[in-house]
Amino acid sequence: MKTPWYKLLGPGLLYAGAAIGVSHLVQSTRAGAEFGYGLVWAVLLANFLKYPFFEMGPRYAASTGKSLLYGYQALGKWSLYLYLIITVSTMFIIQSAVTVVTAGLVSEITGLTFDPWIISSGLLAVCLGILLIGKFSFLDKTMKLIILILSVTTVVAFAFSLLGTPEQYTMYLTTFSFSDNTNVLFLIALMGWMPAPLDISVWHSVWAVEKSKEVNERIPLKAALLDFKIGYWGTLFLALCFVGLGASTIYGTGIELEASGGGFAKQLLGIYTKNLGDWSYFIIAIAAFATMFSTTLTCLDAFPRVLSPTTQMIGNSESKNSNKLYWIWILVVVIGTVIILSFFLTNMKTMVDFATKVAFITSPILAILNYLVIHGKTMPKENRPGLFLKLLSWLGMTYLVGFSIYFLYLTI
């Protein structure tokens, strides 16, 4: 009996869980707080120009029954080595960035006063427990509930924020300017993780393969793309909501957002509560925590899930060791993250900006690899993207390469 389409949903929501995090709660809120609705175009542009490369993940998985990593392997081992280098060099800072923001929210909501690295370690332990007990199936079901809670609470908060009337001062009303290097560097940080790092296209393809194993059937291309589009355009809508929250409650007030995780969380929840009313604290707290916990959990699953087959392909080892490798890599990620947060955490804002800029610089490489795979020999011709997506891919690659070169020019 054919599985109903709604039971095939899952990888797209895991994508949303990974995507709706720092880029939304932190960067989108900061965009609205600093420039009002002046950077809505940047959020829209980043989503549209990166769309083809994210879509390639579920498209390839549904068409071949394998993840993008096998497509990389077909290009040559050099592409696997390149992907391994990119992933290993960014995973600790990315996991640290999303975990410390989540820890800041936990500290503010619960009143715990432990050091951020201690709370972060507790969060990672909880995530480890979820993945150990329930594996992919439990992660899949858990994320559906988290995304539902996140979506409802965020929309409600944004709707009520439009009714608020924060006190504004003309001197604090700023506009974005390309002639201001500080503005441009923030724009790059915003677009670097908007809607998410391109690594997630590979994660998505791996999750799609796992979903096929769970339902014991190859997920049709149409159903896979529907699942993806629900997750992808849903993240865009919520990103605009967070920009709106920042614009309607903070912009023009002269308030500068805190740099520390705990300070940022306390300030953000305090500002929203002041403008929306005390009743809103619970809703905002749930929305913010669901946003960041979903990202912490999905990232912790994704890094080892892609690194396990990558290292196997490079070493030509048998797949029976994949589960063991998964747990080895997950421990590596946890230990590395705790070390960074214990000894190198000084400024959450700096860490987040660094992580998003690194993601932006590596995006052109992953975009080109995905393009080569989706139009390569392992991809059935009948399932390759049409002319419109092909042209959009070229436009997207031009944008990613050009903007990365401009960023390097500004910083070097």
pLDDT confidence of 278, banded at 50, 70, 90? confident
Q: What is the CA radius of gyration of the chain?
A: 20
Query: Smallest Cα–Cα separation from 64: which of 380, 367, 381?
Result: 380
pLDDT at 106 over 70: yes
Q: Mean pLDDT, to the nearest integer, of 52-68? A: 96
Gap between the Cα atoms of 199 and 83, Å rounded = 9
pLDDT tens-digit profile of 206-236? 999 988 888 788 888 999 999 999 999 999 9
Please tell me the predicted confidence (pLDDT) of residue 167.
Answer: 65
Query: Would you list the domain boundaries of the chain?
Result: 5-411
Residue 96 burial (CB count, 10 A): 25
Please state the rounded mean pLDDT for residues 64-83.
95
> Is the sign of the CA dihedral 212, 215, 218, 224 positive or negative?
negative
- pLDDT-derived band at 6, boundaries 50, 70, 90: low
Give the residue-averaged pLDDT of 293-309.
92
Using CA atoms, how far apart are residues 6 and 52, in angstroms rounded to an integer?
23
Q: Return the closest-CA partner of residue 139 out of 289, 16, 294, 254.
A: 294
Percent of the chain at pLDDT above 90? 42
Q: In whole numbers, what is the pLDDT of the chain averaged over residues?
A: 86
Please report the pLDDT score of residue 356 as a whole number: 66
Give the right CATH number for 5-411 from 2.120.10.70, 3.40.50.1220, 1.20.1740.10, 2.60.40.10.
1.20.1740.10
Cis peptide before 195 (omega within 30 of 0): yes
Average pLDDT over every residue of 30-57? 94
What is the C-alpha to C-alpha distance for residues 316 and 326, in angstroms, rounded to an integer? 16
Return the minimum-mean-pLDDT range out of 37-41, 217-221, 251-255: 251-255
Tell me what pLDDT residue 262 has.
61
pLDDT category of residue 237 using cuts at 50, 70 and 90: very high
- Give the whole-angstrom CA distance, residue 365 versus residue 310: 17
Asked whether the beta carbons of 228 and 58 are under 8 A apart, the reply is: yes
